[in-house]
Amino acid sequence: MTDHADLEADLLDRVRAAAEPAALEAVRLEALGKSGAISALLKSLGSMSPDERRVQGPAINGLRDRVAAAIAARKAALDAAELDATLAAGRLDLSLPAPPRRRGCVHPTMQVMEEMIAIFAELGFSVAEGPDIEDDFHNFTALNFPPRHPARELHDTFFLSPDANGERKVLRTHTSPVQVRTMRRTNAPAPAPWIAAGQAPPIRIISPGRTYRMDSDATHTPMFHQIEGLVIDRAIHMGHLKWTLDRFIARFFELDGIVTRFRPHHFPFTEPSAEMDVQCDTSGGEVKIGQGHEWSEIVGCGMVHPNVLTNCGIDPDAWQGFAFGFGVDRLGRLKYGMPDLRDMFASDTRWLAHYGFSPFATPNPASGLS
């Protein structure tokens, strides 16, 4: 017994004295390792008589447990001390300025699209989409363009090389082909949950997207964006069109009482057709909407031509409606005052940083549109 007590006292002393994990591990091996002192005692139990074992067994096991517990406790203490030392040595200086983070921003055109979609959603429109590469039927023929219309010429429109059948696809010159796709796709399923399916009338859709024309000056770029609108029902008339556009303008420019005017115009796909202008003042070098005595053209519109309805399989004696097409970039320019439309697509990050919008401020009617 005294031997055991001496051994225990000696081991516990050395455990206490171990100043680092490696020294402690050496003590553990000497006591509990394969050929350690306590392991040898445990082995000796096998050659004892049962009576002897009854006495020695609990004593040796108790010794082993106490020494193992002392080693575990010492190990925890050494580990904690090591962690404290690491933390103390590697202290973070929170007063240092953080390295600058580059954050992207939303392009004004995309912001304006979101604003427009939010307003039209409020008015009960859903979003429909179509391809940028169109065929002649959807871009021109179904929309009642006569065969020799100037838009069908190479100097106005980007055509792709003819395919194996001799068909020349076109980069769509407007978003109006989506009207045709929506009306003709009567029973097609929606391509995504947030996109309107093709549908039989009544129809109330808008179609935002990229459009292409051979044009480049301060107010035109070869690629630009439009939002098309289409409403078809039994008794839709010009009054509904005018109310819808006036309502939109008031919401978009966040101003009541903006004077608008409808000028007669011509589009092959509407009859009658009009362009709507908003009252503005450009005298101070910047455009101010809703004041002054000048006009800025803002949207083409009209009552859908009966030929277009017929081309899309809708009976023009039973259904009628209106359509409109906004230039998104142009509207953004009027609202946010960019001088030259071409800068919008020059990919100059300084321009974007100046005119861009926070990605965290998605326009919606509740929190504000701009």
Q: Whole-angstrom Cα distance, residue 200 to residue 297?
A: 32
314-353: contacts with ligand DAH (CB under 6 A): 323-325
Residue facing ligand DAH at closest CB distance:
325
Shortest Å, Cβ 193 to ligand DAH: 26
20-59: contacts with ligand DAH (CB under 6 A): none
Helix (H) or strand (E) holding 294: strand 294-304
Judged by CB under 6 A, which of 127, 301, 312, 334 binds ligand DAH?
Answer: 301
Report the 3 state secondary structure along 217-266: ECCECCEEEEEEEEEEECCCCHHHHHHHHHHHHHHHHCCCCCCEEEEEEE
Query: How many CB atoms are located within 10 Å of the residue 45 CB?
Result: 13
Q: Whole-angstrom Cα distance, residue 193 to residue 344?
A: 31
Stretch that binds ligand DAH, among 72-80, 255-263, 285-293, 299-307 (CB under 6 A): 299-307
Shortest Å, Cβ 144 to ligand DAH: 11
Q: Which is nearer to ligand DAH, 106 or 276 (CB)?
A: 276
How distant, in Å, are the alpha carbons of 76, 201, 226, 255 from that of 366? 56, 30, 25, 17
Shortest Å, Cβ 326 to ligand DAH: 8
Number of residues that bind ligand DAH (CB under 6 A): 11
Q: Whole-angstrom Cα distance, residue 172 to residue 148?
A: 17
By CB under 6 A, tell whether 228 contacts ligand DAH.
Answer: yes
Q: Which is nearer to ligand DAH, 8 or 134 (CB)?
A: 134
Stretch that binds ligand DAH, among 56-64, 180-188, 201-209, 295-303 (CB under 6 A): 295-303
How distant, in Å, are the alpha carbons of 48, 68, 96 from that of 53? 6, 21, 67
Q: Whole-angstrom Cα distance, residue 137 to residue 92?
A: 67
Residue with tokens 């100059």: 348
Q: Which is nearer to ligand DAH, 209 or 325 (CB)?
A: 325
Q: Which is nearer to ligand DAH, 229 or 290 (CB)?
A: 229
Q: Which is nearer to ligand DAH, 27 or 308 (CB)?
A: 308
Tokens of 178: 């989506």
- Contacts of residue 256, Cβ cutoff 8 Å, sequence gap at least 6: 250
Shortest Å, Cβ 270 to ligand DAH: 4
Judged by CB under 6 A, which of 64, 107, 174, 225 binds ligand DAH?
Answer: 174
Which residues on neighbouring strands pair with residue 211, listed in sequence order? 224
Q: Whole-angstrom Cα distance, residue 1 to residue 11?
A: 15
Shortest Å, Cβ 93 to ligand DAH: 59
Tokens of 5: 């007590």
Ramachandran region, residue 302 (left: φ > 0; alpha: ψ -120 to 50; beta: rest): left
- Tell which residue, 301, 285, 298, has the closest CA to residue 332: 298
Judged by CB under 6 A, which of 109, 176, 244, 279 binds ligand DAH?
Answer: 176
Q: Which is nearer to ligand DAH, 36 or 321 (CB)?
A: 321
Judged by CB under 6 A, which of 300, 321, 332, 363 binds ligand DAH?
Answer: 300
By CB under 6 A, tell whether 267 contacts ligand DAH.
Answer: yes
By CB under 6 A, tell whether 302 contacts ligand DAH.
Answer: yes
Which residues on neighbouring strands pair with residue 321, listed in sequence order? 232
Tokens of 199: 């549908």
Shortest Å, Cβ 115 to ligand DAH: 19
By CB under 6 A, tell whether 109 contacts ligand DAH.
Answer: no
Q: Which is nearer to ligand DAH, 8 or 228 (CB)?
A: 228
Q: Whole-angstrom Cα distance, residue 280 to residue 303?
A: 26
By CB under 6 A, tell whether 8 contacts ligand DAH.
Answer: no
Stretch that binds ligand DAH, among 163-171, 189-197, 296-304, 332-340 (CB under 6 A): 296-304
Residues in the site for ligand DAH, rule: CB under 6 A? 174, 176, 228, 267, 270, 300-302, 323-325
